[in-house]
Structure 1
Amino acid sequence: MEHSLEDSSPKDLLSNLSRNDVFLVTNYNILQTHLNHGWFYGLVLVVTCIFSLRYYGLRSRKRLSQLPGPKGLPFLGNALQIPLVRPWLKFMEWASTHGNVYSLTALGMKIVIVNSCEDALELMHKRSAIYSDRPRMEVIRKHGGWSFAVSTEPYGPNFHLKRRMINQFFNPTATHKTYHMLSRNALAFARSALDQPMKIQSYNRRYSGANIMKLAYGHEVVEDDDQWIVNADKAVHELESVGAAGIHPIDIWPILGKLPLQIWGKKFVRNMAATKEATREATTRPYDVVKRNFFKGTAIPSMATSLIEANLKPDGRVEHEEAINGSLAMTYLAGADTTVASIDTFIIAMIHHPEIQLEAQKTIDELLQGERLPTFEDRASLPYVEAILREVLRWKPVLPGGVPHCVIQDDEYRGMSIASGSMIFPNLIGMMYDSTDFLDPLRFSPRRFLKSEGNRYSLREDVRNPEQIAFGFGRRICPGRHFATAWMWITIATFLAVFEISPCLDDKGEAILPDLEYEPGLVSHPKKYKCHLRPRTQAAAMVLHTS
């Protein structure tokens, strides 16, 4: 049976003093034999002071309970319980037992899992001043060459500099200026997909990448195997092969990084070398090309040329060059891969749910009357299309496990303590599948975001918008979110307006439905799939072939 300090006897209290305190009192019985000596009263006073400080400090700490969580092993903690593949699913499972905010430990690293959007907003948004750091990512930053990335940058001046550089080109006003390019590429994507629907995933990657390459570097993508896109995709692939950031022993104890990397195995050494080389090809090389063209006067205006010009010194030096290079590279590496996954999810959802596709097309036809393609000016008038976009983000989140934050000082949350240095994992799939916010979360249902009045739909304001979750939280929120959702919206609207999207058939005439179990990487991509595309009307066919 446990006893509180209030129930303890004087002898028990003295026996609880630490070894540092024992130099004052070595044995309670000895003290009793000297009760009549004058020096004893002074000693009692010292002991009383020590006890009071320790007692009231302990009582103060006792008011804060520890976060709940699954019991682990000594030293290893929960390291052996965390799956290497799709750990976010285990994080969801543990939430049902330990609550939406709970803790884990791994090799001494404290980890806090957050499965609720409400809790994530409270911690990482409202308290962003102390929850915006990143855990040590020594493996990918130092050994994998990803020190350029704002997503891995520790919170501080370099982080703010890179964020400012990116944000000026991707805020709502700047994004509005890209609408013409996005509309043009959405139509080009639709044309290419119609000609060769078996290559739809390849075309998705090509045109999603083309948007960002044009904006970032002024680079025109005209081929599926464009070398800049191939290099960037390889860099992302190599990064994913390294595994989750922040949990390698080198991340936890950076001094281990001074040892030969061979101690972690030949595969680890190969992965690090491949990641570093792929990253250099995808980042430094495009910047060097644009920089040379800038000084020759032949560079196409872009984010790169604007940043070079803004930071050009009279002596010809470019200030903040590492930050410029990193901001440009991260624009593609973080943006294109995630939007590709979301657009694939839209196509897969339409194949699996033809009734939703038909209802969305009905609302488009009522507005456009088959006379033109949708434009961004139509966005507010097409709530069903907006609801599909939201459900795509929610149903198959592209970063299901989120990206970890790090808290920089001790904090209290709902009477529980969160220690400084703890990794904070916003488990995005747990939030997207939270039945408190989204009823029947496993089901693809855009109507959860809609209310209907007769034959007309409008967006509900009492259902959480998944955009609050999908793009991160607080000062780490994705700066390219406005651009990303604009590209997704115009692509979804265009495809719905012109295509009947259906499954391919096998030799027996049976539908070949895409697999709904996605690849287990850090960015969640669907497996290879096929679809059939047919122009919905003769007018749509003419638009696709003549516009």
Structure 2
Amino acid sequence: MQGPRPLPLAGNIFQFPRRNIAASLASLSDTYGKMIYMHIFGREFLILNSAEDAFELFDRRGSRYSDRPRSVMAGELVGKNHAVLFHPYGEDLKKHRRLLHTALESRRQAEYWELQYTVSYKLLAALLKTPDDFMAHLKRSAGAFTMRLAYGYDVSDGPGEDHFVTLAEELARLTAKATKPGRWLVDSFPIRASHPVSLYPPLQSRQSAVQHVPTWFPGAGFKIWALNARRITNEFAAAPYLYAKKAAASGARSFVSDTVGCMETELGRPLGTREDEFLKWTSASIYSGGTDTSVAINSSFILLMALYPDAQRRAQAELDSVCWSK
């Protein structure tokens, strides 16, 4: 395993790309191979430029390599350490996955067809009316489906932004900023407690000296930024969850209402504070995990159709032959 020659202390901060990250890291495989090692201020990175290697490590050996690295900024300061994406590997993460699998497994897909049709029709109507706003339409459509699925919430169709959709988009922007490699000193310079020599020391033994700097200290503006990001994170997780629990009293079905019912039946009592908090973050992962991917796929499709009009015409002809055949 090779990589660019690092500098003392700073590591590969100047070799790590700032723009076009995926393409830039992929181009390094010509020089260093398909598995590349880099580190930036003590944070270690393994770049995989092979789908086979990624499948081998994260699927076949998933029980060994499924843990998440500790993120002081995005996890502890911003408050996403309870989110599924940032959760360390263990029993709680397995429980998150079991709950999600129960709701989203393939055998239950037919339950969501009517909702998918409704959302798709609204998306097509919006694209016909204002095609130049296609990215906004894609985001609203993806948000409408996941919000309805997770919380039983119907995204507003009228003019203006929907509060929950806007909140989620802002959180996605903040999360991308909070997890940017090399941006935050608080994620670097770990003070490590004594432990056996190991390439990957226990996460709980790592502490960041910068994390405990008071907000009034010069250069501690990152803590003020994190406090604002934490407020948005907590609102994103809590507000739609509380909506779903109230709506369930009126008979509205959602992932939240169904899962609350199953958990309370299994426990034989109402959910306690810990179970409630746990389910809140499981529900939030449906929106945060399902929206960005849908928008990325649909926007990529539109880009490809614009770049390859011949393929678009052939696809349209095939659709017409099916939809308009007698």
- Residue 290 of structure 1 aligns with which residue? 244
- Residue 129 of structure 1 aligns with which residue? 63
Q: Pick from 179, 191, 197 the counterpart of residue 131 of structure 2.
A: 197
Deviations 1:290-320 (A, max 9, x none): 22344xx214111010111122355533462
Are 1:103 and 1:113, in contact at CA under 8 Å, matched by a contact in 2?
A: yes
Pairing 1:49-68 to 2, within 5 Å after superposition: 67-68=1-2
- Residue 207 of structure 1 aligns with which residue? 141
Deviations 1:432-454 (A, max 9, x none): xxxxxxxxxxxxxxxxxxxxxxx
User: Are the structure 2 counterparts of residues 186 and 293 from structure 1 closer, same or farther at C-alpha, using a change threshold of 3 Å?
Assistant: closer
Structure 2 residues not aligned, in runs of 5+:
191-206
Deviations 1:350-372 (A, max 9, x none): 2222111111112222333356x
How far the C-alpha of 1:91 sits from its partner, in A, is 1.8
Q: Over alpha carbons, which structure has the higher Rg? A: 1
2:163 matches 1:227: yes
Secondary structure of the residue aligned to 1:320 is helix
- Residue 97 of structure 1 aligns with which residue? 31
Structure 1 residues not aligned, in runs of 5+:
1-66, 372-547
Are 1:75 and 1:108, in contact at CA under 8 Å, matched by a contact in 2?
A: yes
Are 2:152 and 2:252, in contact at CA under 8 Å, matched by a contact in 1?
A: yes
User: Are the structure 2 counterparts of residues 348 and 333 from structure 1 closer, same or farther at C-alpha, using a change threshold of 3 Å?
Assistant: same
How far the C-alpha of 1:262 sits from its partner, in A, is 5.8
How far the C-alpha of 1:140 sits from its partner, in A, is 1.0
2:87 matches 1:153: yes
Q: Report the count of equivalent residues.
A: 303
In 1, the alpha carbon distance for the partners of 2:66 and 2:270 equals: 35
Pairing 1:301-316 to 2, within 5 Å after superposition: 301-312=253-264, 316=270
C-alpha RMSD over aligned residues: 2.3
User: Are the structure 2 counterparts of residues 282 and 311 from structure 1 closer, same or farther at C-alpha, using a change threshold of 3 Å?
Assistant: same
- Residue 290 of structure 2 aligns with which residue? 335
How far the C-alpha of 1:263 sits from its partner, in A, is 5.6
- Supply the AA of the counterpart residue of 1:303: F
- Residue 24 of structure 1 aligns with which residue? none
Secondary structure of the residue aligned to 2:13 is coil
In 1, the alpha carbon distance for the partners of 2:213 and 2:154 equals: 44
Q: Pick from 187, 202, 227 the counterpart of residue 251 of structure 1.
A: 187
Q: Pick from 54, 66, 76 the counterpart of residue 120 of structure 1.
A: 54
- Residue 375 of structure 1 aligns with which residue? none
Secondary structure of the residue aligned to 2:86 is coil
Secondary structure of the residue aligned to 1:105 is strand
Are 1:169 and 1:175, in contact at CA under 8 Å, matched by a contact in 2?
A: no
How far the C-alpha of 1:144 sits from its partner, in A, is 0.5
In 1, the alpha carbon distance for the partners of 2:251 and 2:222 equals: 39
In 2, the alpha carbon distance for the partners of 1:246 and 1:330 equals: 25
- Supply the AA of the counterpart residue of 2:33: G
- Supply the AA of the counterpart residue of 1:292: K
Deviations 1:277-300 (A, max 9, x none): 111221111112222344xx2141
Pairing 1:411-490 to 2, within 5 Å after superposition: none
Give the alignment's TM-score, normalised by structure 2.
0.85
Are 1:135 and 1:246, in contact at CA under 8 Å, matched by a contact in 2?
A: no
In 2, the alpha carbon distance for the partners of 1:370 and 1:244 equals: 51
2:176 matches 1:240: yes
Secondary structure of the residue aligned to 2:149 is helix
In 1, the alpha carbon distance for the partners of 2:289 and 2:107 equals: 21
